[in-house]
Structure 1
Amino acid sequence: MKRLLLVVLVALSLPGCGLHPLYAGGASGPIASGLAGVEVAPVAGKSGYLVTNALRDRLPRRSGGTAAYRLEIVLDDQITGLGVRRDDTVTRERRTLRARYQLVSLGNGEVVLDATAGSDAGVDVVGSEYATIAAENTALERLSDIVADQIVTRVALYIRRAPAR
């Protein structure tokens, strides 16, 4: 009986906790509709290409109509040597991808969201130059996905809190 009472009390307290599903309503919900109104401006470089594609994969497709927002991104992609042997050869690298992004309202040109996203990954430097380059590229692909996820989540939160248009 005590367990049942505890389960009922927990179930009744959940609506008051402040947690709400972000993507309620699925593809026809307000967040998905708002994200469909975001266009991604081209970003230069290989990392820009990867991040742009990752963002386009995560944003819902627009069915006609014009975009309400433009996402402008500036990337900083760096590789830093960490582990160094006595003969000054690097044995470990850290690849860092940082994005400064702005969500611009196309109605008035105002920047409504200005934020950063980023992540880093470790890369082992091995005897094969090909293997090292392949590991660096794989790390960049993973980092691009992580940064795109962070950007879409932050934009979705902005759209949820933004006044109705």
Structure 2
Amino acid sequence: MWSSDRRKFLVLLAAAPVAACGFSPAMAPGGAAHALWQQVQIDDPVERNGFNYVTRLEERLGRATGPRFRLSWTLRTEAVGAAVTPSGAITRYSLIGRVTYSLTRIEGGQTVASGNLESFTSFDSSGSTLTSVTAERDAYERLAVILADQTTARLMAAAPK
């Protein structure tokens, strides 16, 4: 019983500094990035990777209801052989993704934030055709989510008041 009480005490003790510093979520009302919540019109995707990217951005920023900002973006991906057998067969691929983004005010057209981001993931292609195709599709989706999360973090850091 004493061990259980000690764990509760340690959890409360660990949470005290966070509560004392006035921590609040960035997207919460009054938070540093609340001006972006449901205010960003994201350019439409034209292919699967872009769809995954935009879907994740909308999960994080909310779907625009009365947009004040426009997010333009370009996503490029490249598959590079990462593991090759002695016979020359590629058994693992690295996916490299690059996104260029620009957040502008709809009224006035001023650029609020812009930048270039890059990340990577990989997948194994040594299994059956089905497992290889599934692994590849999953890797592209993971890459789009990673890049969308990085974009969201940058936008939140540069959020207008």
Same fold, TM-score > 0.5, yes or no? yes
Smaller-chain TM-score range?
A: 0.7 to 0.9
Task: Tell me the distance in 2 between the aligned counterparts of 1:25 and 1:125.
Answer: 40
In the alignment, structure 1 residue 145 sits paired with structure 2 residue 145: yes
Task: Tell me the distance in 2 between the aligned counterparts of 1:25 and 1:137.
Answer: 31
* 2:128 corresponding residue in structure 1: 128
Q: Where in structure 1 are there 5+ consecutive unaligned residues? A: 1-6
* 1:23 corresponding residue in structure 2: 25
Correspondence 1:110-125 to 2 at 5 A: 110-125=110-125
8 Å CA contact retained: 2:93, 2:125: yes
Aligned residues: 144
Change (3 A) 1:91 1:104: same
Please report the TM-score for the alignment, with normalisation by the length of structure 2: 0.77
Task: Tell me the distance in 1 between the aligned counterparts of 2:63 and 2:44.
Answer: 17
8 Å CA contact retained: 1:32, 1:60: no
2:158 counterpart SS class: helix
CA offset digits 1:99-137 (Å, max 9, x no partner): 111111111123221112232112112141221111011
Task: Tell me the distance in 1 between the aligned counterparts of 2:114 and 2:24.
Answer: 20
Task: Tell me the distance in 1 between the aligned counterparts of 2:95 and 2:70.
Answer: 28
Task: Tell me the distance in 2 between the aligned counterparts of 1:93 and 1:146.
Answer: 17
Task: Tell me the distance in 2 between the aligned counterparts of 1:114 and 1:56.
Answer: 18
After TM superposition, the runs of 4+ consecutive aligned structure 1 residues lying more than 4 A away are none
Q: Which AA in structure 2 matches 1:29?
A: G
Q: Where in structure 2 are there 5+ consecutive unaligned residues? A: 1-12
RMSD: 2.4
